[in-house]
Amino acid sequence: MLLYTHPACLAHDPGTGHPESPARLRAVLETLDDPRFAAIERSEAPRATREQLGRVHGAAMIDRIFASAPCEGHAQLDPDTAMSPDSLQAALRAAGAVCAAVDALIDGAGTRAFCAVRPPGHHATRDTAMGFCLFNSIAIGAAQALARGIERVAIVDFDVHHGNGTQDIFWNDPHVLYASTHQSPLYPGTGARSETGAGNVVNAPLPPGAGSAQFRSAMSGIILPRLAEFRPQLLMISAGFDAHRLDPLASLNFDNDDYAWVTRELVDVANAHAQGRIVSSLEGGYSLAALRESTAAHVAALME
């Protein structure tokens, strides 16, 4: 089991009172310092290159984010998304972590990797940074896998918010299956079942208040069968833990056992089709208590 992170991801500061705070990543890293995770091999995330960013983002967007990085204070990209002086480096390290994890698994250095990074990425579209996200790290990693010769990449996203950016980027790409459970209605307002791309997008929206039974039914009845049919050679996870019942930004009612359960189910898919290879990257999760417990459940299941 591999872990990729970088101190720059702790230095990204969207501003006082912002829910996407450095305390989130500190909570995750403190959890992974527990002796039960001692066997994890830890690596410092490199920076993503312009070439890697450019596979999924337009040149104008990349230039805009580089130019927006402030020398002091904050630069506001939209009402929810801000940059501090260290944010650009954090976003480059976050995307670089996922690319490095993909490379490591393809090169046979391991079969599972978790990227403990921030800012999150799955709302960043091809041309727009939004929803706390600058670059779409999971999409950049998937594109890295395709560039390395992987022919079928599956991305499973169980963040409470729909990953509109990832869907946008791979909307017409038959080499990438994007499958999401998420609360609806909720930000960003996308993710209806009718949104299917080129047949490679699978959305299973859940109503406010839904919990374990509805989540497991959506996974077992809709997403897992499509994964098996797709036979991914690499499985990637947008691991958002904000569908937890304690999370303040939404109203689903998952618990730690749900994250352990879904991770084990995805491990089974990876073992059957992808030589066991899974790259998971942190997305949302805004209750620190839930984030600690959910991360522990998820990573422990990845290690099994």
Find where tokens 């002086």 sit: 85
Tokens standing for residue 211: 């919990």
- Please give the Cα distance from 141 to 161 (Å, whole number): 20
User: Which amino acids are annotated catalytic?
Assistant: 123
Instruction: Name 112's bridge partners.
Output: 278
